[in-house]
Amino acid sequence: MSDTQTTSDFQPLQLLRSQDLDEARHLVASVFCEHRLSLNGKQRLNYRHAHQRTGRLSFSKMSYGTDVTVAPDCLDNFYLVQLPIGGCDRQKLNGREVLNDHRHATVQGPEDVLEMNWSADCRKLVVRFDRGVLEQHAASLFGRSLHKPLQFHPLMHLDHPACIAWRNSALHTFNELQRAPQVFELPLIREQLEQTLMTTLLSWQPHDLRHQLGSSPKVLPRHVKLACDYMQAHADRPVTVEILVELTGVSGRSLFAGFDSFLGLTPMRYLRDLRLDRVRQDLLDPRQPRSVTEVATRWGFFQLGRMAIAYRKRYGESPRDTLLRARQ
């Protein structure tokens, strides 16, 4: 992602509020996804939502002011960490009862089936990670390409020191975003906070990829990580082997050998997969252009037929199928 793009993606704090059920549902859907929202209590709805998007992740401090049931259709293109501030939410996650309260945050991924039952006094800080960004970061961190979404353990135990540290870091970041938003308009600062929250979540919260590889992430060699970070930050710009060689200070042969040993692919294949992830992310995002051609060319794909073949092989559906499904 280029500096220009990350700057344009940084959004000022939004203060959303409503006492109308349909309006509240529409406002929440504009931040997350389509869902069913119903009242369970006799109190009047008093939806309050402070939303801040930094570029590749977003923060939502929200409440409904009465007992409600929230049932998302499908998360699909993002991961959520729901940090309780007050009250509780009795969730059904993949058919299992999970309590989101002062002792337990919850973590959900794209394939999870979720229903939430917020108490009238329930307040949360919800951290939303764009799917392509978090999965690409996980691939770089653990040295393995992902072909399916990460499956996190659903509970984050808030009496564990690492989980307490992650919650405090997220809360501090959100508070600082409100206090001094101009600081986070700088791409370097923004990338640093995003990288920290992603790395610590992937390192401390149990998930299936970490289980497969052991408890510790594989540390990428400096030149491989430099090249990966550069391609993630400049995926919408021309990237050549020559640029990566100059950046990393190693020969092309050493660069290719490092990618093959630690990631199992070439640098250019890594870049192609990264761009395909960005295409999918945009096709699923209602705020982005509604044309497959426009999205594909934005991320450097001009031979649309070849792109469509690679896309179907990676995701099991065509780009047009993804776009049509996102419109439903």
- Tell me what pLDDT residue 52 has: 92
Q: Please check whether residue 122 is in contact with residue 86, taking contact to mean a CB–CB distance below 8 angstroms.
A: yes
Task: Say what the pLDDT of residue 144 is.
Answer: 74
Confidence check: pLDDT of 28 > 50: yes
* Residue 56: strand, helix, or coil: coil
Which pTM does this prediction carry?
0.67
What is the location of CATH 2.60.120.10 in the chain?
3-208
Q: Hey, what are 303's tokens?
A: 């031979």
Query: Range with the lowest mean pLDDT among 135-149, 233-247, 260-274, 293-307?
Result: 135-149
The stretch 208-233 carries a mean pLDDT of 76
The strands making up 78-86's β-sheet, listed across from edge to edge, are: 14-18, 47-53, 57-63, 123-130, 78-86, 104-108, 155-157
Short-list 25, 47, 44, CA closest to 36: 25
pLDDT, position 170:
93
pLDDT at 325 over 80: no
Q: Considering the chain, tell me which residue range(s) the CATH 1.10.10.60 domain(s) occupy.
A: 222-327
Is the pLDDT at 139 greater than 90, yes or no? no
Q: What percent of the chain has pLDDT over 70?
A: 92
CATH number of 222-327: 1.10.10.60
Sheet with 96-100: list strands edge to edge.
35-39, 68-72, 114-118, 89-93, 96-100
Q: Which residues contact 192 (CB under 8 A, 6 or more apart)?
A: none
pLDDT in tens, 42-79: 889 999 999 999 878 999 999 999 999 999 988 878 99
Q: What is the pLDDT of residue 203?
A: 84
* pLDDT recorded at residue 3: 32
| Tokens coding 229 | 């970070």
pLDDT of residue 7: 35
Which pLDDT tens digit goes with each residue over 154-212? 999 888 878 888 999 999 999 988 888 887 777 777 888 888 899 889 988 888 887 65
- 264 vs 261: CA distance, rounded Å: 6
Fold of the CATH domain 3-208: Jelly Rolls (2.60.120)
Q: Which whole number is the average pLDDT over 83-98?
A: 92
The pLDDT value recorded for residue 211 is 60
25 has pLDDT over 70: yes
pLDDT of residue 33: 92
